[in-house]
Structure 1
Amino acid sequence: MRMLAKRWQRATEARPLLGTVALIAAIGLFWGGNWPAVRFILMDLPPFTLRAIGFSGGALMLLTWARWRRLPLAVSAAEWPWLAVTGIFTILGFNLATAFAQLNMPTSQAAIIAFTMPCWALLLARWILGQRITGRQWLGLACGQAGLLVLLGPAALEAGRQGLIGPMLALGAALSWALGTVLIKRRGEWQAHPAVITGWQFALCALPMILMMVWRESPPHPATWQGTTWLALGYHLVFSIGLAQMLWFMNVNRLSVAQATISTLIIPTVGVSSAILLLGEPLSITVFIALLLTLAAVAIVMLFKRTAP
């Protein structure tokens, strides 16, 4: 009986871990595949138009789904300032900066710089939340960053030749996402459903993008868009905007800042792997090594109990 009880206890304790791993895997797949998708879209659409469509579509999908599920769409007055500020950093700042970064530098390099986000999030969490950074977290972060450096390869030595605009935009995206993530954690427990919060964040962020699109851009007629643009836009709206952003909000609320942010190191690896499949790039040994280092980083942080407060 005791042996059966212990097995039942172990199985019960494993369920949250399996759910967390599945959540991280889904986010990694959805956002990783979004990098080549956005690159395809930017071949036809300018950046403000892309973000206006994406944010408006995300708001419509999530709020419609919440209404269909009969979730309350109202957000308390105490949560609105947090909703707006975190949305500006995690959605508007990150997505707009990455779009312009991809127009000024190779997508793979932009992704790698943007996903230095865990470094900044850990430091901001120490400053804003008072969280201690453990040796294991530093080790996991080092493994992940080593994987990203291997993935980038010799191109890192030539980044300066392409100017500082693209790298600075990608770095700004990383800082914006890191700050927004820490502020989500700083708010504590949210009353509204993640789909409702994320939907309203998209709605707020869509307004300035629509104004900028009308003022600064003249997007081509949809009839002239390439087939790849339509396919990439559908993926972008459903998986990256609609699902991954909501799952990320849930991820941050379930995990510590260190666990949540270091888990994103899977995303650029998936992004490069999807580029191999979609663009016909060869599978190199560097990609394989980077994948192993990145998965090691996640395992170090996720597969052991936390010791930090």
Structure 2
Amino acid sequence: MLTPQHASLTLLALLAFAANSVLCRLALGTLSIDAASFTAVRLVSGAITLLVLVALRQRSGSAQHWISAGSWRGAAYLWLYAASFSFAYVQLDTATGALLLFGTVQLTMIITSLLRGERLTGLEWLGLWIAVGGFLYLIVPGLTAPTRLGFMLMVISGIAWGFYTLNGRGSSRPLADTAGNFVRAAPFALLLYLPFTDSILISSNGFWLAVASGALASGIGYALWYTVLPALSGIQASVMQLSVPILAAIGGAVIVRELLTTHLLVATLLLLGGIGVFLAGRAKQPARKRASNG
């Protein structure tokens, strides 16, 4: 079971992911910045913030810590997720994009976890389907048909984020690893400018929204997520991320003044209730294994 500390860090990480969605919607939805610039500013500001955090934690020799941490594989997943996400939201509306992203993430992580030997009990399956039902209840009624390009980009983004999450589960230095991944990914984000030099758009508002997305919601949020991932199974991490669209919708209601409807409240109860059922089933497994071994 999760300790109180892990539970608190998990909640903060999920809130950061939700905040990132709100910031992306504000920036890209209002055409305050183009997708290539948003991706570049997001990754560069995230890298700078994480390097500062590493330096504060390790005041001597901090550069060696992030240089040897992280991986090119993690950086590739991070870059592919961030770039595909930004360009997909130019093509998709919010509801369709969220469904495609998180649906693909969950499918990627669940299939990978099952292939690695994890098995679900009946109670866990029940919780999973209740949570998925709440997620679909929230999003499906507002769907519009996605464009082919938008669909492909968001599916790619979801697959990349799923593998990035799984890649971080074995991290023993989550902050340094996240910093290393961001530093490696940032230069590649600048390459996105090459085919889009004629469509660059960076307003002051869009720039600072991208900075907030990179420095706070992405950099710090991913560092927190890397910290708690070793305490989660792949299935647990997958189901918990289903709560992010709900949290983002609530953030949209508060920040963007979107209407908080009964429909949203029902979906929240279904989704969070399903997560609770799933985790209750997962918590019984150690006791059941001990009993069978005895």
Q: Same fold (TM over 0.5)?
A: yes
The aligned residue for residue 204 of structure 2 is 225
The aligned residue for residue 83 of structure 1 is 71
The aligned residue for residue 245 of structure 1 is 222
The aligned residue for residue 138 of structure 1 is 125
Aligned positions of 1:176-191 closer than 5 A: 176-185=160-169, 188=170, 190-191=171-172
Q: Following TM superposition, by how much is the alpha carbon of 1:110 offset from its aligned partner in structure 2, in angstroms?
A: 0.8
**Cα deviations across residues 125-171 of structure 1 (Å, max 9, x unaligned)?**
122x3222333332222122111111113234x42xx4222223222
SS of corresponding position for 2:260: coil
SS of corresponding position for 2:278: helix
Given candidates 2, 18, 23, the residue that maps to 1:32 is: 18
The aligned residue for residue 147 of structure 1 is 134
Equivalent residues of 1:35, 1:111 under 8 A apart: no
More divergent stretch after superposition (112-121 vs 135-144)? 135-144
The aligned residue for residue 56 of structure 1 is 44
Instruction: Please report the RMSD computed on the Cα atoms of aligned residues, expressed in angstroms.
Output: 2.5
- The AA in structure 1 aligned to 2:23 is A
**Cα deviations across residues 212-238 of structure 1 (Å, max 9, x unaligned)?**
2255235345xx434xx3553343133
Equivalent residues of 1:62, 1:195 under 8 A apart: yes
Q: Following TM superposition, by how much is the alpha carbon of 1:124 offset from its aligned partner in structure 2, in angstroms?
A: 0.8
Given candidates 144, 147, 150, the residue that maps to 1:163 is: 147
Given candidates 239, 247, 253, the residue that maps to 1:262 is: 239
Q: Following TM superposition, by how much is the alpha carbon of 1:306 offset from its aligned partner in structure 2, in angstroms?
A: 5.0
Tell me the percent identity. 20
**Cα deviations across residues 70-120 of structure 1 (Å, max 9, x unaligned)?**
16443599x76x72212322x212222211121111123212221122232
5+ residue gaps, structure 1: 1-12
Structure 1 length normalisation: TM-score? 0.81
The aligned residue for residue 288 of structure 1 is 265
Given candidates 192, 195, 216, the residue that maps to 2:175 is: 195
Structure 2 length normalisation: TM-score? 0.85
The aligned residue for residue 292 of structure 2 is none
Rounded Cα–Cα distance in structure 2 between residues aligned with 1:32 and 1:286: 19
User: Where in structure 1 do 4 or more consecutive aligned residues deviate above 4 Å?
Assistant: none
Given candidates 199, 204, 207, the residue that maps to 2:187 is: 207
Given candidates 86, 96, 111, the residue that maps to 1:99 is: 86
5+ residue gaps, structure 2: 290-294
2:212 corresponds to 1:235:
yes
- The AA in structure 2 aligned to 1:122 is I
Q: Following TM superposition, by how much is the alpha carbon of 1:299 offset from its aligned partner in structure 2, in angstroms?
A: 1.2
Aligned positions of 1:64-83 closer than 5 A: 64-70=52-58, 72-74=62-64, 83=71
SS of corresponding position for 1:207: helix
Equivalent residues of 1:48, 1:213 under 8 A apart: yes
Q: Following TM superposition, by how much is the alpha carbon of 1:47 offset from its aligned partner in structure 2, in angstroms?
A: 1.4
The aligned residue for residue 7 of structure 2 is 21
Rounded Cα–Cα distance in structure 2 between residues aligned with 1:126 and 1:282: 38
Rounded Cα–Cα distance in structure 1 between residues aligned with 2:58 and 2:163: 32
Equivalent residues of 1:52, 1:209 under 8 A apart: yes
